[in-house]
Amino acid sequence: MLSGSFNTLGRHWKQIFGMALVAYGLAALLFGGAIAIAVSVVYDHFDPVFHHDYDVEPARSDVAPLVIAGAVLFVVSMTLWVLSLALMYAAVPAVLQDAVLGRRSSFGAVWRRAWSRFPAVLGTLMIQMAAMLVASFLLAALVVTTVLASSGSGHRAPPVALLVLFIVGFFGLVPVGIWLWVRFAFAPAAAVLENQGPVEALRRSARLVANAWWRTFGILMLIGMISGAIGYFVQLALGYGGIFAAMPLAMADDSDGAKVAAVVVMVVLYLIGTVISQFLSATLPQLGAGLLYIDQRIRRENLAPSLVEAAGVPPIPTGPADTRW
């Protein structure tokens, strides 16, 4: 599965990287536009908040718009991140659909297939995230209850039972999250390759993962760790490369132009490293999950003959046994 993920990425990197550029590029442009709009709306409140005397507190009428703008930008960024992730999760199975048959796919074909299944993949992600958010809100409510119980008792330690419940809830949330992540790992592939709706794709993934949870968990963890390590070292190398490349520019001339050029070099190399890291972390684990999905269908549903027929491989003729070499 690991070698298959890297081989698929190597053979179809143009289509996958093109989809990543579209997904993350559009998200970056939209987020940049949102920042520009937010800054233009609250621009008059920057000076009263950030440029004031130290002994004078900024007025609430100036702080509130900045806080609201920051909250709106956070919601916009998270929304764009989820949309970009859903588009990439739809694109990877669309590439695998031709890759497993030994066919070359064009960017246009991948885009049309991914875009047509984008709502279903987005639905699977939203359902999973909603489940995790509910668990997180319950844990947050437990934290607030613990703090209020402690402060309401004269700054004494919170009740032991409540503290134990908080610890159990905190450490119980992690394995439950991992279990759900593995159980529904095949949902994007099922939504794209089988044209399933969000709920049915999640059920399909749960059925395929059943009795193979540990195998699925081990392979996905291995691929995720390797892709994360590669992305980290690439980003680290380009980040330090930008610093070392900018140092001669900054030291050669004290002019503002040289300093701006040095900053531009550092930022560009850092952004390139970030793009490569995000690209690997978003594609390699999904390629592994898609290949595992196909592998499980081959093992349980005898999918191999259908794949051979779809690939146009001529059947092997059967005849009398021949013992000659």
pLDDT at 320 exceeding the cut of 90: no
CB atoms within 10 A of CB 66: 17
Chain segment 64-83, per-residue pLDDT in tens: 888 898 899 899 989 998 99
Chain segment 79-111, per-residue pLDDT in tens: 998 999 999 999 999 998 888 877 778 899 999
pLDDT at 323 exceeding the cut of 80: no
Between 253 and 195, residue with greater pLDDT: 195
DSSP-assigned letter for residue 52? S
Cα–Cα distance measured from residue 124 to residue 133, given in angstroms and rounded to the nearest whole number: 14
Look at residue 255 in the predicted model and tell me its pLDDT: 63
Q: Band of the pLDDT at 122, cuts 50, 70, 90?
A: very high
| CA triple 267-273-277, angle to 5 deg | 140
Chain segment 15-29, per-residue pLDDT in tens: 998 998 888 888 888
Chain segment 131-185, per-residue pLDDT in tens: 878 877 777 777 777 666 666 555 555 566 666 776 777 777 778 888 988 999 9
Chain segment 265-315, per-residue pLDDT in tens: 777 787 788 778 878 888 889 999 999 999 999 888 887 776 766 655 555
* 228-253: average pLDDT: 79
Between 44 and 53, residue with greater pLDDT: 44
Residues above pLDDT 90, as percent of the chain? 27
Q: Band of the pLDDT at 325, cuts 50, 70, 90?
A: very low
Chain segment 202-223, per-residue pLDDT in tens: 999 999 999 899 999 999 999 9
Side-chain-facing half-sphere of 178: CA atoms under 13 Å? 11
Contacts of 120 (CB under 8 A, 6+ apart): 90, 191, 192, 195, 196, 197, 198, 201
pLDDT at 117 exceeding the cut of 90: yes
Q: Band of the pLDDT at 318, cuts 50, 70, 90?
A: very low
Write out the two tokens for 319: 């005849």
Look at residue 305 in the predicted model and tell me its pLDDT: 73
Look at residue 315 in the predicted model and tell me its pLDDT: 53
pLDDT at 263 exceeding the cut of 50: yes
Q: Is the pTM of this model over 0.85?
A: no
Strand, helix or coil for residue 325: coil
Cα–Cα distance measured from residue 224 to residue 218, given in angstroms and rounded to the nearest whole number: 10
Write out the two tokens for 279: 């690209």
Between 241 and 120, residue with greater pLDDT: 120
* 225-252: average pLDDT: 81
Q: If you average pLDDT over every residue of the chain, what do you get? A: 81
pLDDT at 322 exceeding the cut of 60: no
Write out the two tokens for 17: 């990287």
> CB-based burial of residue 23 (10 Å sphere; 0-12 exposed, 13-18 middle, 19+ buried)?
buried
Using left for φ > 0, alpha for ψ between -120 and 50, and beta otherwise, residue 137 falls in alpha
Cα–Cα distance measured from residue 275 to residue 280, given in angstroms and rounded to the nearest whole number: 9
Look at residue 157 in the predicted model and tell me its pLDDT: 57
- Helix and strand numbers (H, E) in the chain are 11, 0
* 50-59: average pLDDT: 67
Q: Band of the pLDDT at 324, cuts 50, 70, 90?
A: very low
Nearest 10 degrees: CA dihedral of 232, 233, 238, 241?
140
| CA triple 109-106-9, angle to 5 deg | 110
